Structures are given as C-alpha cells and as structure tokens.
Chains A and B, each alone.
Chain A
Amino acid sequence: DADVTQTPRNRITKTGKRIMLECSQTKGHDRMYWYRQDPGLGLRLIYYSFDVKDINKGEISDGYSVSRQAQAKFSLSLESAIPNQTALYFCATSDSTGTHSYNEQFFGPGTRLTVL
C-alpha cells in the first residue's frame, strides 16, 4: 500500500463549487504539505502543517484553506473554485523527529483538478 494517498485522483468541477482534496499518510510523519504544480511554474507551496495544532500559509494560500484532522490526515479545500485553480495538486509529508532529518519530503500521487 502507498504511504501517502490522495483522493480523488481526478476531479472536474465548475466555477463556484466547493471542493475538498484529501490526503492520508501511514508514514507516521508529523509534517504535511500541500503543493500545486502548473506547467512552467513548478511546484508551489500552498499550506503546511507541523502538527495537528499548527497550520501555516505557504507561498500561494489565497483561495485555499486546510484542515489537519489528525496526524495522518490533511485536507485542502477550495471554497469557491475558479478556473485558474486548475492544476495538479500534491500532498507531501516529512519527518522532523529523525536524528538526521533534513526535511526529505514524500509525495502522494497527486490530484488532477480541472475547474470549468
């Protein structure tokens, strides 16, 4: 089984709809991240969480919100989707507790979101 899973894997929605993307991990890592990837722009950080009670904005948080329901679960919401949020979304985890941890990140398979 995959260590980091994302649901759904593909989603097509309409402008103005509320969308939730979910991420679960079995790695036991404390840190979780949401990125989006667009052609020519690379990976950009949306939000990150260092533990259940810690949520931080990344580079491009406007239009998004997150919830860390448990150490293993981190969801991303688009309250009112717009076409320029069409992108590939990745969840990632990392472990800050290891002796030699340098924030190596482990990514999920991605969610391809299309907003019409």
Chain B
Amino acid sequence: SQKIEQNSEALNIQEGKTATLTCNYTNYSPAYLQWYRQDPGRGPVFLLLIRENEKEKRKERLKVTFDTTLKQSLFHITASQPADSATYLCALPGGGADGLTFGKGTHLIIQP
C-alpha cells in the first residue's frame, strides 16, 4: 500500500541555521508533491508544489527537492527564524481521484 514517511520526532534547529525536513514515500509514482505548514490548532497552509520533472523549487527562504529515484523530497528553510516553528506536512496525490494523502508531519522548533 502507499505510504508516506516523515520524521515523527521534533526537529530542533538553532536560529539562523538551515532546517532540512525529509519526506519519503513508497509504492507511489507521484506526478507532484506538495508541502504545507500547520500551526497548532489551525488548518494547514499550502507552501510549495514540485512536479515530477522538477529537481528543485525555491520560494524566498524555502527550497524543495524531489528525487523520484530515491522516492524522497527534502524541504529546506534557510536562515531559519523562531517564527518558522510549526509542523510541516508533505502531501502526495492519492486518497481518491485528485485527492491528497498527507504525511503525519514533522514538528520543527527554531530556537533563538
């Protein structure tokens, strides 16, 4: 069955450093992959989408890579700030035609 794995342990990063989050998947051949940010008690917010034919995508301090051979996406936040602390979810097509299946998310903590 299709499976998405994100590191369930919280990731602690010092302010100013680069935070790197990992999303691994199995039994998928996704046409794209998405990343969302979720703050406590709030709905997820769409951040970035990367297509299968794209190796890398950037948006301000965010960078996403997509390796379809390794079945892995990396999500980087450069020059991290305490305001970047949140849970980050990756999502792949699935869960019904044109629906999304979400990973469980990684909780990122940026320490001042």
Chain A positions within 8 Å of B, measured between CB atoms, are 4, 31, 33, 40-43, 45, 48, 50, 56-59, 88, 90, 92, 94, 96, 102-110, 112
Contacts and interface: CB of A to CB of B under 8 A. Distances in A.
Contacts, number: 64
Nearest to A40: B104
A110 B42 contact: yes
Given A48-B99, A105-B46, A42 B89 contact: yes
Interface of B: 8, 31-32, 34, 41-46, 49, 51, 89, 91, 93, 95-105
B41 to A, nearest CB: 7
Contacts of A103: 34, 93, 98-100
Between B8, B89, B102, the greatest number of chain A beta carbons within 10 A of the residue's beta carbon is seen for: B102
B45 A107 contact: yes
